[in-house]
Amino acid sequence: MNTIPAFAVIGGSNGFRLLGDGATGFTDIGRIRTPFGLSEPVFRKEHTAVPFYYMSRHGVSGYTVTAPFVNYRANVYALKMLSVKSILSWSGPGAIDTSYTVGDFVLPDDIIDETKYRARTFYENTGLGFIRQNPVFCPCLEGFIVKVVKRAGLTLKKGGVYVCTDGPRLETKAEIRKYASYGGSFVGMTLAPEAFLARELEMCYRPLCYITNYAEGVVERRYKSGELFEGMNDAGEKQKFEYAVSKLSDIVTAAAAELDADSGLLSGDCSCRMSMERYRKRGDIDAKWWKHLSPGNKRTLR
């Protein structure tokens, strides 16, 4: 096993564009068979000091898998099989708090999980997985992501609470008022259970978000049939949205360059990588992490 900590980017909304736009240096290693089904295709970036992987959460030929039907367990498990220890997750939520504007790049620091119908643990029907969620996003990855964004020539806002809903529909005005009362800053559909699954497999995980629109009712907009978000963005916001989406390639390139510049950047101790330590000390699990998942999901891997 490579002792250099492997790194991965999970691309969210419009993540398929990275590959469709002809990003160079990637090799398709295909879907990975896991006890939870097939992952989305994984791409390895060649000639990097740190093993570097990319996965498009919603498919590679377009937006073909909506948020509630993403196989989060298979995707996270596949990256664990590849010895990935750190994940940068790309996600495009809508702003609830008007201190955030369309096109902003944001490093959220908390999450409210409003999903109801998703498989949210690897440890169904076991006594495992009772683990703390503060901080919910890896604190050790913050400095790295700040450097990546700076290298890409972008500015970043820190903080904010991501509210995760099931989708695929957008939220109602009343729901957005409810999430605002909870202290929600923006609303999206993909960080839960992804973040929690990564924690269960002791992987560092941190999202980098770009604001796609204002959430329903935050700014009143006339309904426009046949447009993205049905008219929730004005002409200027559409341009900012497209600009932000186009920067995923720069983010991925900058992440690879930052790791090349300091291949030890993601080494060292982090609480994320010790999330299951209590169970190790108790003798419930050992280094063969795959043996301790839900009994009904154990079967031979490829």
Domain presence at residue 1: no
Cβ pair 70, 168 in contact under 8 A:
no
Per-residue pLDDT, 210: 96
**Residue 215's Cα: distance from chain center in Å?**
20
Residue 147: domain span: 6-297
Per-residue pLDDT, 297: 45
166-218 confidence digits (pLDDT tens): 999 999 999 999 999 999 999 999 999 999 999 999 999 999 999 999 999 99
pLDDT beneath 70: ranges in the chain? 1-3, 19-24, 294-302
Per-residue pLDDT, 232: 86
Per-residue pLDDT, 15: 77
Per-residue pLDDT, 23: 60
Per-residue pLDDT, 295: 52
Domain presence at residue 121: yes
Domain presence at residue 249: yes
Domain presence at residue 32: yes
* Alpha carbons 9 and 91: distance in angstroms, whole number: 11
Residue written as tokens 């329903």?
A: 216
Domain presence at residue 132: yes
Per-residue pLDDT, 294: 67
User: Residue 278's domain is classified under what CATH number?
Assistant: 3.40.50.1580
Per-residue pLDDT, 22: 55
Domain presence at residue 197: yes
**Residue 126's Cα: distance from chain center in Å?**
26
pTM of the predicted structure, to 2 decimals:
0.93
Domain presence at residue 236: yes
Angle among Cα 247, 248, 254 to the nearest 5 degrees reads: 90
**Residues paired with 30 in a beta bridge:** 42
Cβ pair 123, 77 in contact under 8 A:
no
Instruction: Quote the tokens at residue 265.
Output: 């950047």
Query: Domain tally for the chain?
Result: 1
